[in-house]
Amino acid sequence: MKKLIEAAEIKEAVHKLGREIEEWYQGEPLTILGVLTGSVILLSDLVRAVELPLKIGLIQASSYRGTSTTRGELIINESLIPNVEGRHVLLLDDIFDTGHTLQKLIPIIENRKARSVRTAVLLWKAERTEVDFAPDHHCFKIPNEFVVGYGLDYNDEYRHLPYIAALEPDEIDA
């Protein structure tokens, strides 16, 4: 596999993202809602980098399963979402690829009467975006490659890597 982003670069970018979020919400209470499972490492690091009154929540959404490297049907499990009524919510995901996942999640949170809904992602594949919006915050723009590490997986492996890497074609099962 080919390393794209080193662990130290990620750490610095997450710290910077924390400052951006603090500046945006200016001391207001915030719920950071992590999209499972890819965002768990980012969520863990980000909440320690943000000095605001925080609540943490989770939502499960997946369109890539097993050895698939192409988007399938989006499956959403809302059962883990905490009460967000009247709260600012930051939807946090590992990657903004086509944008369909966040496009589907935003109205779900808005319908729960959140005060505001914004988005943040670690990675953005800008050239693959198929929706008419961009993430409000992102750490890195990346090329159109299948990436793993720092929470992102291939067949539930590689999430533990402290860096982001692109899998070579021979490392991806056909």
Phi, psi of 4 (to 5 degrees): -110, -40
Neighbours of 3 (CB within 10 A): 12
pLDDT of residue 174: 46
For 67-119, the pLDDT digits (tens) are: 545 556 778 888 889 999 999 999 999 999 999 999 999 999 999 999 999 99
3-state secondary structure of 123: strand
Q: Please, what is the Cα angle at 101 between 35 and 70, to 5 degrees?
A: 105
Catalytic (active site) residue 93: no
Averaged pLDDT for residues 138-162: 95
pLDDT of residue 72: 61
For 14-49, the pLDDT digits (tens) are: 999 999 999 999 999 999 999 998 999 999 999 999
Give the bridge partners for 165, in sequence order.
3, 148
CA distance linking residue 145 with residue 103, whole number of Å:
21
Counting Cβ atoms within 10 Å, is residue 75 exposed (0-12), middle (13-18) or buried (19+)? exposed
| Per-residue pLDDT at 147 exceeds 50 | yes
User: Residue 132 has which token pair?
Assistant: 């008419």
Catalytic residue among 93, 94, 97, 153, which?
Answer: 97
Whether this model's pTM surpasses 0.85: yes
CA distance linking residue 112 with residue 157, whole number of Å:
34
Task: Report the first-to-last Cα separation within the chain, whole angstroms.
Answer: 16
Q: One-letter amino acid identity for 2?
A: K
Question: Could you give all domains of the chain from N- to C-terminal order, each with its CATH number?
Answer: 2-22+29-171 (3.40.50.2020)
